[in-house]
Structure formats: structure tokens, C-alpha cells
């Protein structure tokens, strides 16, 4: 009876009466191949070819039987994606990916069975399985948290080093329960809500937003706290939009080079004794309207007048 091979690891199954003088040698070879399948470390170089097919031999040493694979080389030069093809039989692989990428956002090493989609191999070390058709990531690669999407906890749970503990999940809501120190500028591009006391040891800086001069001057309090408008005619200060209770700030009211411009006020603006102030009328005159939002529709204000250059 002729020898055959096992389906998944391609090990020699000796037929009855085969290899009478070399039976032990063949068996030792099978044991060596089992050893490779359990603990062998194989390095695979990639870079120039768009597809790298791992060797697959019946009854002899190959790449795809190895338990641990290391991918090295580069991706992103000749090919933005490099496909590593594995046999269409069930198998597990521990993979260390040290491939250099020219553009990490687009360059990828993809492990797949021929004819199927496959899975992108992340930077670092990970564990992958195949059912002979599809490939699945079992353990997310352990690259630094700086390059991992650690907020998607259902699929992205990397090992965390001491250096990574400083990172906070960015794609989901989370609570910071201990003090954090920022040693560089922090930029927020949407609203920030702070519930609790604020202690500031340095300067708090606020920009002055220039308002568009028009017959009705509209202040959007979403754009800042401090504003400036130059009057080029008789104007009305309209009800501000997006006012929040407790919001404070100021509005510089500047006369143009002609002067004599008047400023009236929407009813939401409230002044001491109910008396609306008149703006300084001299050319290039500067007044400062200081306000505090009692509510979104009631803005208390006082005017400090006639600042001199």
C-alpha cells in the first residue's frame, strides 16, 4: 500500500509494508515536521512581489507548516498591499510583523487563502487562525497604543506596556479617574464641558472675535466671549445667538473715522436702571460693553466709555 499524507500538516502516512529498511527514518522525519508545526520559527521576506505564497510541501520541510512566522522587509514601494498566501487547510499561526511601511495608513500586509479576502496583519505580534477558507485575527497585534484603535474594545484589545498607559481611548466615551499632565498644547475642536472646580496656575487667554458690521449686528456666542465691531453707520445690537446662562465677556464698540454713529439695543440687552448707554460719538472713539448672560434671553451689560489711545 502506497504512502499518503495527512490533510492539514502534510505528514507522511506510511502504507503497510512500505519502507522496510527506512521506516524509522521516515518516522523521524514526521516527528521533525510535527516539531516544526508546534514550535518552529520561520522568517519570510517580502517587498518586491505583490503576492508571496508560502511553500507547501508533502512530507518535507516548508514555510506554511511553521508555528511561528516573522514577516520582514518593506511594503509601500512597489506594492501598497502585499498578499501572503497560506494553504487552504485549517491551521493556526503566531505572526510577528516587522515589515517597514512607507505610508502606514495605506500600506498593508494581508494574510489570506487564495481566492478569499483575508485579514490585514497589524504591526507587532498577533495570533491568527484559518478554517481553510477565511483567516481570523484571534489576538490583536501588540503594537504601541499610539498606533492602535484601543477604543474599539470588541476587536482591538492590545497588550499594554507601561509606556502606553498614558493613552486614553479616543473613539468612545471614557472616564479619567486619575490626574493627567499635559506637557504640550491640547486642542479641542468641539465643545468642552467641565463639571467641577477648575484650578489654573497660568494665564487664561481669550481671543477677540471681529463682528461683521451691519444694520443689525449679530453676536454668535459660540464663536467666543470677547468681540469687536467698528460702526460705519447707525446700528442695532441684535439679540445674540447661542447664549448660555453664565457666559461672560465684552464687546469693543469702535467708531469709524467719521464718528457720530449711534448704537441701539435689542430688548434682550439689560442695563443698570433700565437706561441704555449712548456710544461715544467722536471719530475712532472706543467703548467697552461688558456683559453677563443671566439667561439665554437676558443679557446684563454695562458700558465703559471713551477709552483713549
Query: What local confidence, expressed as pLDDT, does residue 236 receive?
Result: 98
Q: Residue 110 in contact with residue 119, Cβ under 8 Å?
A: yes
pLDDT at 245 over 50: yes
User: pTM of the prediction?
Assistant: 0.48
Q: Give pLDDT, residue 205.
A: 83
In this prediction, residues 81-97 reach a mean pLDDT of 94
pLDDT in tens, 149-192: 545 444 444 555 555 555 566 666 777 777 778 888 888 888 78
Domains of the chain: 4-142 (no CATH), 208-307 (2.60.120)
Q: What is the mean pLDDT of residues 238-252?
A: 96
Asked if residues 229 and 251 have their Cβ atoms less than 8 Å apart, the reply is: yes
Q: How confident is the model over 19-45, as a mean pLDDT?
A: 92
Model pLDDT, residue 159? 53
What one-character-per-residue DSSP string does 217-262 give? Answer: E--BTTS-SEEEEEESS-EEEPPPBS--TT-EEEEEEEE-SS----
Out of 97-111, 148-162, 277-291, pick the least confident. 148-162
pLDDT, tens digit (0-9, with 9 covering 90-100), for 134-150: 999 986 555 554 445 54
Amino acid at each position: 500500500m502506497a504512502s499518503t499524507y495527512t490533510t492539514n500538516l502534510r505528514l507522511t502516512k506510511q502504507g503497510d509494508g512500505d519502507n522496510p529498511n527506512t521506516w524509522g527514518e521516515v518516522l523521524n522525519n514526521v516527528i521533525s515536521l510535527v516539531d516544526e508545526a508546534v514550535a518552529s520559527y520561520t522568517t519570510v521576506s517580502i517587498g518586491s512581489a505583490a503576492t508571496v505564497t508560502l511553500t507547501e510541501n508533502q512530507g518535507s520541510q516548508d514555510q506554511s507548516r511553521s508555528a511561528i512566522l516573522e514577516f520582514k522587509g518593506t511594503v509601500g514601494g512597489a506594492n501598497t498591499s502585499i498578499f501572503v498566501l497560506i494553504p487552504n487547510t485549517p491551521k493556526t499561526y503566531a505572526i510577528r510583523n516587522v515589515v517597514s511601511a512607507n505610508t502606514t495608513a495605506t500600506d498593508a500586509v494581508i494574510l489570506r487563502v487564495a481566492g478569499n479576502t483575508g485579514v490585514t496583519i497589524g504591526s507587532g505580534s498577533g495570533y491568527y487562525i484559518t478554517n481553510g477558507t477565511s483567516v481570523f485575527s484571534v489576538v490583536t497585534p501588540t503594537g504601541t497604543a499610539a498606533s492602535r484603535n484601543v477604543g474599539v474594545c470588541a476587536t482591538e484589545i492590545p497588550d499594554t506596556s507601561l509606556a502606553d498607559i498614558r493613552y486614553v481611548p479616543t473613539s468612545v466615551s471614557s472616564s479619567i479617574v486619575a490626574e493627567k499632565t499635559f506637557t504640550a498644547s491640547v486642542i479641542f475642536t468641539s465643545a468642552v464641558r467641565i463639571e467641577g472646580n477648575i484650578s489654573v496656575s497660568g494665564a487664561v487667554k481669550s481671543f477677540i472675535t471681529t463682528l461683521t458690521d451691519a444694520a443689525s449686528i449679530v453676536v454668535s456666542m459660540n464663536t467666543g466671549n470677547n468681540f469687536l465691531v467698528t460702526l460705519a453707520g447707525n446700528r442695532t445690537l441684535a439679540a445674540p445667538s447661542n447664549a448660555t446662562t453664565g457666559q461672560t465677556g465684552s464687546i469693543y464698540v469702535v467708531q469709524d473715522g467719521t464718528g457720530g454713529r449711534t448704537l441701539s439695543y435689542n430688548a434682550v440687552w439689560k442695563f443698570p436702571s433700565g437706561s441704555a448707554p449712548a456710544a461715544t460719538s467722536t471719530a475712532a472713539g472706543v467703548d467697552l460693553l461688558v456683559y453677563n448672560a443671566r439667561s439665554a434671553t437676558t443679557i446684563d451689560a454695562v458700558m465703559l466709555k471713551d477709552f483713549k489711545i
